Amino acid sequence: MRFHLKAFPHIGNERGLTLLELLMVVTILSAVAWMSLGLVNNNTDQVRFEDTRNRLQAIRRAIIGDTSRTLNGRPEVRGYVADMGRLPDNLNALISREYCRNDPAKTTSTGCTDWVSQPAYSYNADYGLWLGWNGPYLAASELVGYPRFQDGWGNSNDNSSNFGWSYATDSPNAGDLTIQSLGRDGLAAVTSDAYEADYPPTGQPIIRANEYRVLLTDSGAAAQGDGTGGLRVDFGSPAGPGTVELCMALAFSSGGTIATMTSSPVTITWNGTEKVVEFVFEDATGPAYDEDTYLYLGQAAYGIFEYVSGTGACDTTKPFPTGASPWKTFTVVPGAVIQPFERNLNN
């Protein structure tokens, strides 16, 4: 039996790609790949920018909480300022109660030339106040041996307790707080590139002074006795006990420890009409009494006491009326009016 094999068609009859056509295909594929890479890079930049913005919001909440939220119908008061009665000196103060200010990599005081130890959170039974460092207020990442809280770009500074962020206040514990990321390039500069620009832009603080403190008394003119505004007390409308000279004392957290201040004296004559008395507080740090006084976000305590004219002092050993509880706590929320305290002497 014979087998007849069919001849294959001549391969040379099929036309292949020319060199020019091949180069065109490669060029088109390269362009597509390059555009795709650009889209990926832009998307990565946007993710890092969004992460930076979210981290700034986390820092803001760590410092002053969010009083728009409520707990049992009352504003939720929490955060560093509420506990410590001041702004943090730097971002490391939100992460660690104790730290080395000029070398965050050092986690003990050994070899540190600027060791910071913040007062621990504790209860003061004399005034009924909890105060002190109750952190960590930020969930820091453990990187290269010590915790830090960087921006979305990963900017860092191993000799700074602000971890690569720019951190500044107009004046310590009195002005606006500005915290900025230095952007993708890590440099403080004005640029048209949105990802290399400082964020937020200069002049846009993340916390304004009126968001963490309340003006207690406006000093007015630079002279003793010119202060206006204070805390009011409604004593009701008692018919007695005659004329009395009273003062108010305040206790609050200042740097995590108790601080106190007293008001100017007020002379009251009880005549059966309702008495709503305002106690004015002035800062006596200078002879002119020309400093405004403030209370910070958080808990404070007040007491009404007898004023001793002979010594010119508010006697906190003599609460008014006699036998009354010397200290009562209240909440300070910036933007909210502190209602008159009630101390009805007819009850």
Domain range list for the chain: 34-209, 213-342
Structure-block tokens of residue 239: 């018919």
Average pLDDT over residues 33-49: 69
- Alpha carbon distance 103, 88 (integer Å): 17
User: What integer pLDDT is reported at residue 35 of this predicted model?
Assistant: 59
Check pLDDT > 60 for residue 225.
no
Of 53, 55, 50, residue with least CA distance to 140: 55
User: What integer pLDDT is reported at residue 13 of this predicted model?
Assistant: 53
User: What integer pLDDT is reported at residue 36 of this predicted model?
Assistant: 53
Q: What is the pTM of this model?
A: 0.83
User: What integer pLDDT is reported at residue 118 of this predicted model?
Assistant: 97
User: What integer pLDDT is reported at residue 78 of this predicted model?
Assistant: 93
Average pLDDT over residues 99-111: 91
- Alpha carbon distance 115, 100 (integer Å): 5
φ/ψ of 53, rounded to 5, equals: -65, -40
Check pLDDT > 50 for residue 165.
yes
Peptide bond into 241 cis (omega under 30): yes
Question: Which of residues 311 and 92 earns the better pLDDT score?
Answer: 92
Residue 93: count of CB within 10 angstroms of its CB: 24
Check pLDDT > 80 for residue 26.
no
Decide: 327 and 258 in contact? Cβ < 8 Å. no
Question: Which of residues 345 and 263 earns the better pLDDT score?
Answer: 263
